[in-house]
Chains A and B, each alone.
Chain A
Amino acid sequence: MTRGLLLFCFDTPETKYHKVLEYCVLLAKKNLKLPITVVTNLNTFKKIKPLGFINYKFIDPETGNTKLGKEWNNVDRHMAYELSPYDTTLVIDIDYFCFTDNLAQLFNTNYDFLVPDTAYDLTGRNAFDQRRWSMIPMVWATVLLFKKNDRVKKIFDTVKYIKQYYSYFNEMYRIYASNLRNDYLFAMALQQINGFTGYDKLPFALPTLPPDCEVVKITDNGLAWKYGDQISYVEDQDVHVLNKEMSNV
């Protein structure tokens, strides 16, 4: 049974995502110790510095999605099942930095699909505990663990179907985000596949830095950020960084 990490990375005119990928891969190699496959395009690949033995898969990313008015090429996650060369795959966003080996042990479970459903705001403002308008709880598709089997294939097929009719499902579930978010795609697919009864989840909240925090330093063990006039840091704790300007750190 093969195991590995799958990452998606596409530069945009505004953001050098390949820089974020470089941090992500270095930390994943150090702490998760897994084979890594990066899904990217040729333009991005040419800018990535040598990262050791990495498996690359090239696709043309689907364009058209935006975040805060900027191009955001993140809608190819539904292809993770087909693109992964592994029997068990951990998919993480490249802005999720593994400063620990916490995720590695999850490969040893008999669960075939796991996703977290909560995020933890590292600035202490509980910025992610907002009023929920949608009819279903959101998941954080930032981290996904899946095994290849018939049931999981159907989850990804359902994700594809919902993506195809996204505006309809958005209305139906009262999701008011105008852009396409993998979080909602997977939340809707999991609800439907599981007969609207809930599903198995990862039992921890994703430590997350909100977009208004500026990352000022990254080391092998942790990172520091600026929020207002305060500088804070964490060490030996995984962090999901929402401010993509960190590609310039």
Chain B
Amino acid sequence: MDIGSLKKLSDLSYDIAVAKRNALEKANSRLVVVYNEHIFRADPETINLVKTLSEVHTSPLYVLDSNKNPVEIPDPLEFLQVLIQRNQEAISSYHQMSKTFEKRND
């Protein structure tokens, strides 16, 4: 490979790496969700916690918000739906974006 091609490939890789990193950050921003007047992140940890507690604990549930403040959740299944919906919205958008990265590599 000549030096020109190497530079071109390196620039493209840098470009894709930055775009991928930004797309992930975009998804992270979108994971922030407000429920019952508190702020949560619809991340796997929160979803797993709410799912587990809703299966083995009677309502209401008590969880911590993004600032570690306790929140009462009267309807855990509704909360779980909100979390899953927001999580999948953010991650599917990231997934769509990642497809464009693959095309740029071709």
Complex contact B30–A108 (CB within 8 A) = no
Complex contact B28–A204 (CB within 8 A) = yes
How many residues belonging to B are interface residues under a CB distance threshold of 8 Å?
24
CB distance from B84 to the nearest CB of A (A): 17
Contacts of B39 in A (CB 8 A): 106, 109, 111, 202-203
Output the nearest chain A residue to B27 by Cβ-Cβ distance.
A237
Complex contact A105–B34 (CB within 8 A) = yes
A108 contact from B14, B34, B69, Cβ within 8 A: B34
Q: Which of B6-48 contact A (CB under 8 A)?
A: 11, 14-15, 17-19, 21-22, 25-26, 28-30, 32-34, 37-39, 41
Does B81 interact with chain A (Cβ within 8 Å)?
A: no
Complex contact A102–B15 (CB within 8 A) = no
Question: How far is it, in angstroms, between the C-alpha of A201 and the C-alpha of B66 when the chains are bound?
Answer: 8
Question: How far is it, in angstroms, between the C-alpha of A111 and the C-alpha of B39 when the chains are bound?
Answer: 9
Output the nearest chain B residue to A198 by Cβ-Cβ distance.
B67
Contacts of A111 in B (CB 8 A): 39, 67
Complex contact A102–B32 (CB within 8 A) = yes
Complex contact B38–A110 (CB within 8 A) = yes
Question: How far is it, in angstroms, between the C-alpha of A109 and the C-alpha of B29 when the chains are bound?
Answer: 17
CB distance from A193 to the nearest CB of B (A): 16
Does A234 interact with chain B (Cβ within 8 Å)?
A: yes
Complex contact B29–A102 (CB within 8 A) = yes
Complex contact B37–A110 (CB within 8 A) = yes
B22 contact from A109, A201, A207, Cβ within 8 A: A207
Complex contact A204–B14 (CB within 8 A) = no
Output the nearest chain B residue to A102 by Cβ-Cβ distance.
B29
Complex contact B11–A100 (CB within 8 A) = no
Q: Which of A112-154 contact B (CB under 8 A)?
A: 120, 122-124
Q: What 0/1 pattern do residues 53 to 87 of B give for CB contact below 8 A with A?
A: 00000000000001101000000000000000000
Q: Which of A79-124 contact B (CB under 8 A)?
A: 100, 102, 105-106, 108-111, 120, 122-124
Question: How far is it, in angstroms, between the C-alpha of A122 and the C-alpha of B21 when the chains are bound?
Answer: 8
Complex contact B25–A109 (CB within 8 A) = no
Contacts of A120 in B (CB 8 A): 25
Does A221 interact with chain B (Cβ within 8 Å)?
A: no
Output the nearest chain B residue to A230 by Cβ-Cβ distance.
B15
Does B92 interact with chain A (Cβ within 8 Å)?
A: no
Contacts of B66 in A (CB 8 A): 203
Complex contact A109–B32 (CB within 8 A) = no
Contacts of B93 in A (CB 8 A): 236
Does A205 interact with chain B (Cβ within 8 Å)?
A: yes
A-B contact pairs, 5 of them (CB 8 A): A105-B32, A108-B34, A122-B25, A124-B22, A202-B39
Closest 8 CB pairs of A and B: A203-B66, A110-B37, A237-B26, A124-B18, A200-B67, A105-B34, A108-B34, A204-B29
| Beyond known contacts A207-B22, A207-B26: 15 more, CB 8 A cutoff | A102-B29, A105-B32, A105-B33, A106-B34, A124-B22, A200-B69, A203-B39, A203-B41, A203-B66, A204-B29, A230-B14, A230-B18, A232-B22, A236-B93, A237-B29
